Amino acid sequence: MSRSADTILRPSAEVAAALAEGTPVVALESTIISHGLPQPRNLEVAGELEEIVREAGAVPATIAVLDGVARIGLDEEGLRRVAAEPGLRKLGQRDLPLAAALGASGATTVSATSFLAARAGIRVFATGGLGGVHRGWTEDQDESADLDALSRTRITVVCAGVKSILDVPATLQRLETRGVTVAGYRTDFFPGFYLHTSGEPVDWRIESPAEAAAVMRAQDALGGTETALIVANPVPVEQQLDPALHDRVLAEALQAASAAGVSGQAITPFLLDYLVKGTEGASLEANLAAVRGNTRLAARIAAAWSTAR
């Protein structure tokens, strides 16, 4: 039996009311809860991020797929399931039809969260760092599905750049090729995820949530391909991972991955886990500092967008 969008895409009552009334809404991904943090801190952070959104006058919409239904906004039970359910899948956009048809549950990545948020009518999404082009791309052509999704999804993503384990210059080139708009938020350099800067310049910078909302309006007025706007918001210098420690541990992680023959989808979790252990948790704290700042800024942009509309 076929299923309609009404049965596999379900906004919570709060999110549905906010969208109908024009109240600002911010989408939040769920992989940071299920795969990015240890228990029970993951559930605590999930609640903290939602509270940051609420404090800014917006409605949080944490997104996940539960029993084949894309839930746009989770209640306490849903958050607990994402935080604690063993074997929860990590779902990219390509996995959504399978999860829906087979009644599976999973946390959504950037590509899946962007797609589902846009389908539900949400325009602003906060995350930590994007996926991108992996180091050694000329050999294995490993590239995150995030880039392709953002090249055909009209959503504003507030992030701290792309994960520093990736090839940042190649990722920026790919975003340019695919027509994805990138602006630094009060910076002339693309952020480095754990680090305040990657050292790579950006062509445009914006200074306020109102300017971000103005760019969003210009996207709509111009029409054309439905691409994303990336607002690259750096982690504050005082909260970044020590750059020397970052570079040393990352070099060790890359060497360890090569020696162990780790590649493909396994490389990102391997390197991130190595960084957490090699920095004694400092990389995780820098990640959380970035996510908190991105969530706060996303809520302010959503409010400016809602007001402008």
User: By C-alpha distance, which of 76, 93, 80 is closest to 153?
Assistant: 93
End-to-end CA distance of the chain: 39
Assess whether 163 carries a catalytic annotation.
yes
CB hemisphere CA count around 182 (13 angstroms): 28
29/125 Cα distance (integer angstroms): 8
Quickly list DSSP for 68-82. Answer: TEEEES--HHHHHHH
302 in Cβ contact with 157 (< 8 Å): no
User: By C-alpha distance, which of 226, 265, 264, 238 is closest to 118?
Assistant: 226
Tokens of 75: 């209640």
Residue ranges with strand state E in 81-218: 89-91, 106-108, 124-126, 156-159, 181-185, 205-206
Instruction: Classify residue 133 by its DSSP letter.
Output: B
142 in Cβ contact with 174 (< 8 Å): no
Catalytic residue among 163, 176, 211, 277: 163
Assess whether 29 carries a catalytic annotation.
yes
Catalytic residue among 14, 21, 29, 77: 29
Quickly list DSSP for 229-285. Answer: EEEE-PPPGGGSPPHHHHHHHHHHHHHHHHHHT--GGGHHHHHHHHHHHHTTTHHHH
Positions annotated as catalytic residues are: 29, 163
